Amino acid sequence: MKKVIKICNLDCAACAAELQEELSALDGIHDVSVDFVGQRVTLEHEGEESLAAAIKHISSFEEVEIVDGNAPQKKERHIEEIVSIAVSAAFFLPALILHLLGGFEWVAFGLFLASFGAAGWSVVASVARNFIRAFRGGVHLGVLLDENLLMLIASVGAFATRQDMEGAIVMLLYQIGEFLQQLAVGSSRGAITRLMQLKSDHAIRLVDGVQQEVDPEELVAGDVIFLRKGDKVPADCRLLDETAALDTKSMTGESYLKEINRGEEMLSGCVNEGAAVRAEVVRPVSESAVAKVLELVQNAASQKAKPEKFITRFSRWYTPIVVLIAVLVAVIPPLFDGYNFAAWITPALNFLVISCPCALIISVPLTYFSGVGTLARCGVLAKGAVYLDNLASVKVAAFDKTGTLTEGKFTIGKISGQDRVLEVAAALEQASSHPLAKAFEGVAAPEAENVHEIAGRGIAGEIEKKRVLVGSYKLMEEQGISCREVKSAAVVIYVAEEGEFLGTVEIEDRLRPEAKDALAALKNAGVEHIAVLTGDTEARAKAALEGLPVDEYCAELLPAQKPERAQALKARGKLMYVGDGINDTPVMTVSDVSVAMGGLGSDAAIEASDFVLATDNLGALPRAVKGAKKTRKIVLENIVFSIAAKVLLMVLSLAVGLPLWIAVFGDTGVMLLAVLNSMRMRAKIR
């Protein structure tokens, strides 16, 4: 069973990696993911006993606490860190002046030592805790060998060789870097936390015309609510009045008013900017659009991308190897240099400081975390960071037509044949889950029995013991029913009863207004080939797609044929498939990237997809592709820059020698630059 545990006081990414490794070793615990940025632990457990063991382990890990997921998040004030840095700096500055002036060496030493103590007490405490944990129930050197130990060794080593200024400034600069890192990470946490503001904290329910202010969680399907101007829509609902104007910025990232007409859905999270209106709740808050947004974004961090997994494995072996190399640097060269150990201690300490992997451990997951949040602000929900890399590499895009490129709001058009055509068609369609069936809602019809789908063809059933067929022209042909094929841009439904053709009903659907611009923008974003896979006839598909920048379309496909065609498209490059219905799920499973329409899409399609368009706006797709490309680019920049900078500093330290404080400044600077580069993901994507 899957469990998500909200935590606090997890201080660093290295600690998150340690906690993840320790939890993975517990019996009955699998697929553990510890999200340092989001402060969440996601795991699979085999029973309550194993879950209880995991919770106990989390609670005993350093200062980590488990918090109520519904509790409001406390604002991080960092008072302790600020005071520690300020006191350390207050001791360091006069010590530095005395050191530069000369004389009063013991006074300067005492002040440097006090500066070290003020900044480094938390580091010493962490090393002491890790030392106990490292030798509890065996030997776990990976727990002990973290950045705290590296910095403590460097600082104490500097004092031991009477480089007092370097010993103090190592710890002071390290704590300043840690503080700035926490501010940056906290800012990214805040970006996700602000998504919580999509949720309304109250709703006005109408009961016999009387207004009652209630918690949105109390709303159920069928409740009538009252929305004043400026009110946030608390739950997905259907407009009861003539018109409404909604600001959809919170869900799409773009501030514009969307006109809603009577009977149309209003998604939760949007803001009523028009006159006061009434609406009927269609889904409880737990199943609303806002709930989908928050659940998908918050759980996305548990699905780690390949670079994140690489960094986790890399850091597990990297630190012990670096400590060993530093020991060799301090011991072996002096054997060939007149046993001058003092001359090689500083390069060895520099090596320890410079090699700290914080820049990679923090910046890579932070970039993916920010990328997921940025896509969410555009109205695209990623189910995991792992899918961003796949989306960035997409070269081919395939679309379902009905409900994806078209609005999926079907209306009855022309009716031809006998008087009973409409009511017979409605009787069977109203028992169907097919999107076309929505066009027949509200039509008076007799009761149908033994209704069943004929895949890719239509529906069969009985009305008053008479066998009825409703579906495509091919269904009529296969059943030996004589009729003439109707040429129309609309969807034509053929109706037959007891082997006799009754007539046709035409169902009209319109292209989405943003479809043309969205497909063109996809090509500008790097998608080279766009295809449409549809079960519609050749004539209807051609008429409906006229004017769209589509490279090819495949019509009259049965559900089983769509995956075959998708496999063929993958020969051109990574394939993204966008669909909305149950019949799209097989295609989604064979595609490299799958996208479901969140508003109109079926639960099955949403479950099978990697991304969800929260508001069904295709215009968000090209921005998602651009965002994924930007995320991957920043991740690669951080990896290359961090490794290259550290290798360069290590070489300089061994070749020409560097003061210890420059090594610390270089390490902290590399980390901060990588984190700041990660923050670029929070910029708006056009």
Domain boundaries, the chain: 2-74, 79-193+299-370+629-682, 199-291, 380-406+514-616, 411-508
400 carries an active-site annotation: yes
Give the Cα separation of 359 and 350 in Å (integer): 16
Give the span between the Cα atoms of 222 and 645, in whole angstroms. Answer: 61
Identify the weakest region by mean pLDDT among 139-153, 426-440, 588-602, 650-664.
Answer: 139-153
Q: Which long-range contacts (CB under 8 A, 24 or more apart) does 94-99 make?
A: 95/164, 95/165, 95/168, 96/165, 99/164, 99/165
For position 525, what pLDDT does the model report? Answer: 92
Within 13 Å, how many C-alpha atoms sit on residue 41's CB side?
A: 33
Residue with tokens 């895009």: 397
Q: 289: pLDDT confidence band, cut at 50, 70 and 90?
A: low
pLDDT of residue 273: 87
- The CA–CA distances, whole Å, from 199 to 100, 196, 244, 341, 653 equal 58, 6, 20, 63, 53
pLDDT at 315: 61
Q: How wide is the angle at C-alpha 611 spanned by C-alphas 609 and 615, nearest 5°? A: 110
Cα separations in angstroms, 596 against 110, 298, 560, 581: 65, 18, 19, 8
Q: 164, 236, 400, 580: which is the annotated catalytic residue?
A: 400
| The overall pTM is greater than 0.75 | no
Q: Is 442 left (phi over 0), alpha (psi -120 to 50) or beta?
A: left
Q: What is the CATH number of domain 380-406+514-616?
A: 3.40.50.1000
User: Tokens 């019509």 — which residue?
Assistant: 555
199-291 maps to which CATH number?
Answer: 2.70.150.10
Q: How far apart are CA 103 and CA 622, in angstroms?
A: 67
579: left (phi over 0), alpha (psi -120 to 50) or beta: beta
Q: What is the pLDDT of residue 194?
A: 53
Domain 411-508 has CATH 3.40.50.12160: no
Cβ 159 vs Cβ 116: under 8 Å:
yes
Q: Is the pLDDT of residue 75 over 60?
A: no
CATH number of 2-74: 3.30.70.100
- Residue-wise pLDDT tens digits, 563-597: 889 999 999 999 999 987 666 778 888 889 988 88
pLDDT at 378: 79
Closest CA to 384 of 404, 361, 365, 360: 365
Residue 250 confidence (pLDDT): 61
Mean per-residue pLDDT, 454-466 = 88
For the segment 269-280, the average pLDDT, to the nearest whole number, is 89
